[in-house]
Amino acid sequence: MNEEILKTGAPKVNLLGLTQEEMIEFFAGLGEKPFRASQVMKWIHLGAVDNFQDMTNLSKALRAKLESTAEIYIPEVVYKKFSKDGTRKWVLKLDHSNSVEAVFIPSDGRGTLCVSSQVGCALDCSFCSTGKQGFQRNLSAAEIIAQVWVANQSFGPRDNRGDRPVTNIVMMGMGEPLLNFDNVIRAMHLMKDDLGYGVSKRRLTLSTSGVVPAMDQMGEEIDVSLAVSLHAPNDELRDQLVPINKKYPLKELLAACTRYLNRYDSNRRRVTMEYVMIDGINDAPEHAKQLAKLLRNVPSKINLIPFNPFPGSDYRRSPTERVEWFQNFLLKQGYTTTVRSTRGDDIDAACGQLVGKVQDRTRRNSRWREKLIDISSGDGADGSA
Ligand code: SAH
Ligand code: SF4
**Residue with CA nearest ligand 1 atom 16:** 352
Give the ligand at the shortest distance from the Cα of 244. Answer: 2
Is there a domain that residue 382 lies in?
A: no
| Ligand 2 proximity of 243 Cβ (cutoff 6 Å) | no
**Domain count across the chain:** 2
Tell me the best of 114, 117, 121, 238 to mutate to test the pocket of ligand 2, counting ligand atoms within 8 Å of each CB and taking the most.
Answer: 121
> pLDDT at position 155, please?
87
| Domain CATH code at residue 214 | 3.20.20.70
**What's the rounded mean pLDDT across residues 267-292?**
94
Which of 55, 71, 87 is at the close of a domain?
Answer: 71
> pLDDT at position 11, please?
74
333 by DSSP, 3-state: which?
A: coil
**129 and 275 co-located in one domain:** yes
What is the per-residue DSSP string for 49-87?
A: --SGGG-TTS-HHHHHHHHHHEE----EEEEEEE-TTS-
**Residue with CA nearest ligand 2 atom 8:** 175
**Residue with CA nearest ligand 1 atom 19:** 128
Using CA atoms in the order 207, 213, 217, 220, what is the torsion angle rounded to 10 degrees? 100
89 by DSSP, 3-state: which?
A: strand
Domain housing 26: 2-71
The CA distance from 145 to 65, in Å, is 24
**133 and 265 co-located in one domain:** yes
pTM for this model (two decimals): 0.89
Instruction: Say what percent of the chain tops pLDDT 70.
Output: 83
Distance (Å) from CA 154 to ligand 1 centroid = 26
pLDDT tens digit sequence for 280-328: 999 999 999 999 999 999 999 999 999 999 888 999 999 999 999 999 9
The CA distance from 206 to 369, in Å, is 29
**Residue with CA nearest ligand 1 atom 26:** 352
Is there a domain that residue 216 lies in?
A: yes
Which of 20, 42, 71 is at the close of a domain?
Answer: 71
> pLDDT at position 44, please?
96
Give the ligand at the shortest distance from the Cα of 208. Answer: 1
The CA distance from 89 to 347, in Å, is 9
Catalytic residues: 101, 351
